[in-house]
């Protein structure tokens, strides 16, 4: 008799285990997005991909660098116009002397001012509520990240991981894939707040790093026209933001955006887009992200699969 009961029980427990595993696999990834949307255009494309990806639950968005209140207004308008108003938005540490122009300010000014919510407090509170479950997606200068570490390093350490766009490890900026890459550069997000970057790389949290080595993926004319002429709620907002970015005075750019900040989002959805290598990264006093011998403190993507990237990116943004 015990044997006859055991087999059905084993089958039941096996089925339950498989069901739990399937549910766990299907559960969306919880993400806080820390971004400087409004200067370069890649942040807007990154947010669009997030909004079009049900595998990701945006716990909240925190604004980083420069006029963080105006960035919050930009987000309010974009989220409202695309039907995502319930996503919380919090204002990060305001800074002055930003060398980048706020190219999409006119779009942002037509957003509604939001109640001021402290980004650092919001970030830490969400980590406390869901320890080990939240990914911090860091897409701008790391001022908010450094402030969170200063305020409560123990809670910050309970992040699942930090997935970031930043740094330059083995190659630097280049205007075209047909010209040789420069040597490793001082990358904008890191050099904007070197002290904050140093705090992150010594905080002991898991870091997945997407430097300029792997993120200089350009949105060519064919793909750009398909997206901006698509006519969905999300792509209509991208079209407005893109044309304001183009119209702003920025002599270093062309009409072909580099999708730096989109690559970490794509990696969250499909890690094969940007395979990673364990490295030890040290941020020096000049803002270079130096590769050094020793125990790895980051998983670093040094080259992305651009065909796989566009195979993921384009169909999602062309969904209605």
Q: Note the pLDDT of residue 248.
A: 86
Under the banding of pLDDT at 50, 70 and 90, the label for residue 5 is: very low
Which range has highest mean pLDDT (173-177, 179-183, 216-220, 247-251)?
216-220
Q: Which two tokens stand for residue 197?
A: 């970057």
Give domain status of residue 184, yes or no.
yes
Containing structural domain, residue 247:
27-317
Give domain status of residue 20, yes or no.
no
Q: Note the pLDDT of residue 86.
A: 95
Give domain status of residue 10, yes or no.
no
**pTM > 0.85: yes or no:** yes
DSSP single-letter state for residue 48: H
Q: What percent of the chain has pLDDT over 90?
A: 84
Alpha-helical (H) ranges within the chain are 2-26, 42-51, 68-81, 105-109, 119-129, 143-151, 153-156, 188-192, 194-201, 212-215, 221-228, 233-247, 262-269, 306-317
281-320 core/surface letters (b: 16 or more CB in 10 A; e: else): bebeeebbbebeeeeebbbbbbebbbeebbebbeebbeee
Q: What percent of the chain has pLDDT over 70?
A: 90
Number of domains in the chain: 1
Give domain status of residue 100, yes or no.
yes
Q: Which two tokens stand for residue 122?
A: 């919001």
Digit-coded pLDDT (tens) for 134-155: 999 999 999 999 999 999 999 9
Beta bridge partners of 161: 135
Digit-coded pLDDT (tens) for 186-235: 999 999 999 999 999 999 999 999 999 999 999 999 999 999 999 999 99
CATH number at residue 209: 3.90.245.10
Give domain status of residue 217, yes or no.
yes
Give domain status of residue 232, yes or no.
yes
Q: Note the pLDDT of residue 4.
A: 47
The answer to whether residues 120 and 60 touch, using CB atoms and an 8 Å cutoff, is no
Digit-coded pLDDT (tens) for 17-68: 554 444 445 799 999 999 999 999 999 999 999 999 999 999 999 999 999 9
Place of tokens 């970057």: 197
pLDDT: which is higher, 201 or 8: 201
Give domain status of residue 7, yes or no.
no
Q: Note the pLDDT of residue 252.
A: 60
Give domain status of residue 70, yes or no.
yes
């Amino acid at each position: 008799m015990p044997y006859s009961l055991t087999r059905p029980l084993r089958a039941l427990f096996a089925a339950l285990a498989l069901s739990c595993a399937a549910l766990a696999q299907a559960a969306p990834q919880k993400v806080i997005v820390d971004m400087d949307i409004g200067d370069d255009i890649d942040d807007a494309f990154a947010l669009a991909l997030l909004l079009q990806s049900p595998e990701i639950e945006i716990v909240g968005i925190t604004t980083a660098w420069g006029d963080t209140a105006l960035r919050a207004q930009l987000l309010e308008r974009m989220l409202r116009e695309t039907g995502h108003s319930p996503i919380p938005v919090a204002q990060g540490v305001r800074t002055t002397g930003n060398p980048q122009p706020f190219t999409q300010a006119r779009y942002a000014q037509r957003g509604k001012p939001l109640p001021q919510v402290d980004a650092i407090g919001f970030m830490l509170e969400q980590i406390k509520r869901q320890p080990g479950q939240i990914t911090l997606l860091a897409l701008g200068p790391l001022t908010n990240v450094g402030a969170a570490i200063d305020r409560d390093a123990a809670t910050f350490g309970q992040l699942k991981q930090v997935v970031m766009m930043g740094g330059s490890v083995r190659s630097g900026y280049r205007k075209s894939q047909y010209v040789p890459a420069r040597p490793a550069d001082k990358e904008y997000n890191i050099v904007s707040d070197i002290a904050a970057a140093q705090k992150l790389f010594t905080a002991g949290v898991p870091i997945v790093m997407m430097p300029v080595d792997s993120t200089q993926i350009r949105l060519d004319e064919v793909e750009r026209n398909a997206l901006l002429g698509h006519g969905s709620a999300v792509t209509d907002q991208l079209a407005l933001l893109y044309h304001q970015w183009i119209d702003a005075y920025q002599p270093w750019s062309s009409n072909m955006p580099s999708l730096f900040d989109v690559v970490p989002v794509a990696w969250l959805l499909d890690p094969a887009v940007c395979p990673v290598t364990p490295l030890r990264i040290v941020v020096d006093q000049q803002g270079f992200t130096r590769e050094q011998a020793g125990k790895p403190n980051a998983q670093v993507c040094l080259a992305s699969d651009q065909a796989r990237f566009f195979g993921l990116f384009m169909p999602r943004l062309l969904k209605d």
